[in-house]
Amino acid sequence: MRFLKHRLAFMLSVILYCLSYQVNAENSTTPEPAVSITEHEGRFNGVKVKYLATAGETELKNDKGEVTAHVFSISYVKKDIKDTSKRPVVFIYNGGPGSSSVWLHMGVFGPKKIVIPSDAIDDGAPPFSIQDNPDTILDIADMVFIDPVGTGFSRTVGKGEGKDYWGVREDAQSVATFIRTWLRKNGRWNSPKYIGGESYGTTRSAALVDALEGRFDDVSINGILLISTILDFSVTTYDQGNEMAHMVHLPTMAATAYYHGKVNTDLSLEDWVQAAREFAIKEYAPALLLGPALTGAKREEIRAKLSAFTGLSENYLELANLRVHFQRFNKELLRAQGVALGRLDSRFKGDEYDDAGEYPETDPSFYGIDGSYTAALNHWVREGLKFNPDREYTIIGGVGKWNWSLRSDGRREPYLNVAPYIGKAMRGNKDLRVFNAAGYYDFATPLLGAEYALQRNGIDPNRVTFTYYEAGHMMYIHHPSFDKFLNDVRAFFNE
């Protein structure tokens, strides 16, 4: 009997040791989330605001309760809020997929901003101008900047894998989980809520509003900020036989040719783009649909008008069969000057290795701004917010293969369009409104593509606000557009 008791005691000690070892092993591979909270004060829109900045990681768990990821975010929350039901909170992110929130954070919405040349000149090398941002909306709303898994300081931990987060549906679900967690921890369930993203962040917003509102315990959203919008991917895909891409990019080509002095018109930029928009929809698209049947005088008429709007020669347009990829346009328009134009912002001009190529070798509107934004984010977060981990902040490019499917049944996607999610959310939420911001010189997400996606059946046009700026994808790097953009956002909040 005594032997049996000793035997049981020994076995129990072995079991406890193994359990302890397992817990310690899990803890060794799943670090504790790091958080830094600092107090600040600023004057925004003439209003003095004391606020807390929380830079830190939030745990995401799987259905077994195991921690699988840490999501890094930065929250700016006004101190001593008397009634949270009257204080909006805005959840903000960028795109990619695979981009951190650095651009909207340090470019326009954060309490600190990077100021670079307004006229599409390269940002050069440090020191850069990092300034207070008195125009941001912190006087009227709290803000939470989110870096999805694989961006910024966000990462998988423990048993988490990138594939669990890298996809349209997977990404939206993880950001929705983060938002629900943030609302719970901060007691903000009854606050007005806005979500806002740029570029692929607009795709995320559409999928995210479905993830938030598509459940019986939904999180109702007051407004969506769509900045440089891409919802219907079919209109930007230059597959042979897809004529929509050519139609959608034409107004942006017309604006670009206007900016670089390659057109002959007395119209304002706005009116010129409107004329190009009408030509694209009413004449150019029907002509393209005729295919080889477009001949004779009608073909000559379309070719001449296309040349007038784009600044390209009729000979070049004929060689291209009246169908010019926007990157061909960006190489051809100022070829005689030995420069190519930017994709994100076609105001930018870049010197190339040679001038005979078909497409630009790189994007001068990206390398023209990335150094300053990287320096500004790292300086502000590590020095100003006291969050300084011993690892890199991933600006962009930290995610792997992306799952673009919206289906869960494995069937082929007919084409990727997340705009119907917004229409569905509107039908289930009478107060949901949409703000769409577009730059005239943005080839990454052309303005007509956003209009086409948001003016389809199922989306209430009376609840969509369209605004336009004389800049590109990051319209806020252009100083007058920065001011106009924030004024437009304030007006949207106050509607």
Lowest mean pLDDT segment, chosen from 4-18, 125-139, 208-222, 372-386:
4-18
pLDDT band at 18 (very low <50, low <70, confident <90, very high): very low
Rounded to whole angstroms, what are the CA distances from 166 to 98, 198, 400, 461? 9, 18, 7, 32
Crossing angle between the packed helical segments 269-279 and 244-259, to the nearest 10 degrees:
160
The domain boundary residue, chosen from 365, 399, 417: 365
Examine residue 1 and state whether it is found in any structural domain, yes or no: no
The domain boundary residue, chosen from 306, 336, 365: 365
Residue 214: pLDDT above 50? yes
pLDDT reported for residue 406: 87
Residue 7: pLDDT above 70? no
One domain for residues 229 and 259: no
pLDDT band at 358 (very low <50, low <70, confident <90, very high): very high
Examine residue 6 and state whether it is found in any structural domain, yes or no: no
One domain for residues 168 and 101: yes
Examine residue 29 and state whether it is found in any structural domain, yes or no: no
| Chain centre to alpha carbon of residue 240 | 28
Q: In percent, how much of the chain has pLDDT > 90? A: 85
One domain for residues 308 and 451: no
Domain at 134, CATH number: 3.40.50.1820
Under a CB-based contact definition with an 8 Å cutoff, are residues 391 and 398 in contact? no
Number of domains in the chain: 2
The domain boundary residue, chosen from 345, 365, 385: 365
Residue 377: pLDDT above 70? yes
Span 320-346, average pLDDT: 97
Domain ranges, residue 252:
238-365
pLDDT reported for residue 182: 98
What the block records as the tokens of 77 is: 């929350």
Q: In percent, how much of the chain has pLDDT > 70? A: 93
Residue 217: pLDDT above 70? yes
One domain for residues 283 and 353: yes
Most trustworthy range by pLDDT among 26-40, 120-134, 184-198: 184-198
- Give pLDDT tens digits for 478-491: 999 999 999 999 99
Examine residue 401 and state whether it is found in any structural domain, yes or no: yes
